[in-house]
């Protein structure tokens, strides 16, 4: 058995785990990142990529914003369609914007930054177990290459996603979870075609929800609402593009270009929050603590803000000898998280078709969109929530 020590043991090498390691390293705090998958597997995951203003600033301060600044697409608004009606939400009128930059690209930037600074990233760490978080020196056990390893830490950061070990290590008597599972999924296609519009367009249609997003000026990421039990194999590229075209306003559909899919998958939708985010010396961040439906593009943004807050708390512990920020981490983060959950659940409820939905329900959805189009106050609230222009600390 091999034993080693670090100040912060981080489980998970997604953006939240890598960014936390980077922020701590910049403050002179040592960490080790454990990841159960291979480096190539982590980089192969296709995820969202709409970044709030404040998140872009956090990433730049962490020294991982150079390529994002060159290649990211800054958007000053978004379109929402209902049938043939189109509503443009102007972010610039509120001094706000978002940046479209794929999560896979951000993960690559973070990996390279950690490797350039000599960060310790342990891939294919199997059977990670967390011990002793109630005491002053928690311990991580794992296997790699058939050998047993022990990592002693001051703190453990659980950044290992919804299915990871971290949240499951909090006793059931302590942990409380809240969940809503939606009765549909998103069929997503990645294709090398230019975006249909310069900005994202969300479409609420009688046939179901659709979204045209992008990863770059030449690569599009598009979605249609589908049944949870749909089989990807039943969705040929031709069927997908035909269905997407049918849900878009006619003038937008005419501009849609198609190509063979690079990647195609079905994702379920859920809202989920775990409380508290801290148990002893174990702290949760990102998808291990919360999940939002992708409708509001909040998942990655919430994770980055979690990590920024958590890093500040850990840095204060070591630099100033105060645990006030650590003690307040869970309550402060949860206030922000629940606001994002509210926005994401609201937007999901307005844009999607639900089983058993009545004509009254549909008219209520359309009334919500009309309120958004006609009310300056409603648009200001939408922009604040979508862009993170004035988030709670």
Is 260 among the catalytic positions?
no
Alpha carbons within 13 A on the beta-carbon side of 113: 27
3-class SS of residue 318: helix
Whether 293 is catalytic: no
- Among 142, 290, 294, 352, the active-site one is 294
Cα-based distances in Å from 32 to 3, 4, 122, 150: 13, 10, 7, 12
Q: Are 388 and 50 in contact (CB under 8 A)?
A: no
Which of these is catalytic: 142, 182, 202, 329? 202
* Contact (Cβ atoms closer than 8 angstroms) between residue 88 and residue 2: no
What is the b/e burial string over 183-192, where b = at least 16 CB atoms within 10 angstroms of the residue's CB?
ebbbbbbbbe
Of 290, 298, 317, 352, catalytic: 298
Which of 75, 94, 264, 317 is labelled catalytic?
75
Does the annotation count 298 as an active-site position?
yes
Is the separation of the CB atoms in 143 and 127 below 8 Å? Answer: yes
Active-site residue identified among 101, 142, 329, 386? 386
Rounded Cα distance between 272 and 289, Å, is 8
Q: Give the long-range contacts of residues 230-239, CB within 8 A, separation 24 or more.
A: 230/185, 230/187, 230/266, 232/187, 232/264, 232/265, 232/266, 235/187, 235/264, 237/189, 237/261, 237/264
294 catalytic, yes or no? yes
Catalytic, 317? Answer no
Residues 48, 300 contacting (CB under 8 angstroms): yes
CA distances for 369 relative to 108, 152, 340, 342, angstroms: 37, 53, 19, 17
Catalytic residues: 75, 202, 294, 298, 386
């Amino acid at each position: 058995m091999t034993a080693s020590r670090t100040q912060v043991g981080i489980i998970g090498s997604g953006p939240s785990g890598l960014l936390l390691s980077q922020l701590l390293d910049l403050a002179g705090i040592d960490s080790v990142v454990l990841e159960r998958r291979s480096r190539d597997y982590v980089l192969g995951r296709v995820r969202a990529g709409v970044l709030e203003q404040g998140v872009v600033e956090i990433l730049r301060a962490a020294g991982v914003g150079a390529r994002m600044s060159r290649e990211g697409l800054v958007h000053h608004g978004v379109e929402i369609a209902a049938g043939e009606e189109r509503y443009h939400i102007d972010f610039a009128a509120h001094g706000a914007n978002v940046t479209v930059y794929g999560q896979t690209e951000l993960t690559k930037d973070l990996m390279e930054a950690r490797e350039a600074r000599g960060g310790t990233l342990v891939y294919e760490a199997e059977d990670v177990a967390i011990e002793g978080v109630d005491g002053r020196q928690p311990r991580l056990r794992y296997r790699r290459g058939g050998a047993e390893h022990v990592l002693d830490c001051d703190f453990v950061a659980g950044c290992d996603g919804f299915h990871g070990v971290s949240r499951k290590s909090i006793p059931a008597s302590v942990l409380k979870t809240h969940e809503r599972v939606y009765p549909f999924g998103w069929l997503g296609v990645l294709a090398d075609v230019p975006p249909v519009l310069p900005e994202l367009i969300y479409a609420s249609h009688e046939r179901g929800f659709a979204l045209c997003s992008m990863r770059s000026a030449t690569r599009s990421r598009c979605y249609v609402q589908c049944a949870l039990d749909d089989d990807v194999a039943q969705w040929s590229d031709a069927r997908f593009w035909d269905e997407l075209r049918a849900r878009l306003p006619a003038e937008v559909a005419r501009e849609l270009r198609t190509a063979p899919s690079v990647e195609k998958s079905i994702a379920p939708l859920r809202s989920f929050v775990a409380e508290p985010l801290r148990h002893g010396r174990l702290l949760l961040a990102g998808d291990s603590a919360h999940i939002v439906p992708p409708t509001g593009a909040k998942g990655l943004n919430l994770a980055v803000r979690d990590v920024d807050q958590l890093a500040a708390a850990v840095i204060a512990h070591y630099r100033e000898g105060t645990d006030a920020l650590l003690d307040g981490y869970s309550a402060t983060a949860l206030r922000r998280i629940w606001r994002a959950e509210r926005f994401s659940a609201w937007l999901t409820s307005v844009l999607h078709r639900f089983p058993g939905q009545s004509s009254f329900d549909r008219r209520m959805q359309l009334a919500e969109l009309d309120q958004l189009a006609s009310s300056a106050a409603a648009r200001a609230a939408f922009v604040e929530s979508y862009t993170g222009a004035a988030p709670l600390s």
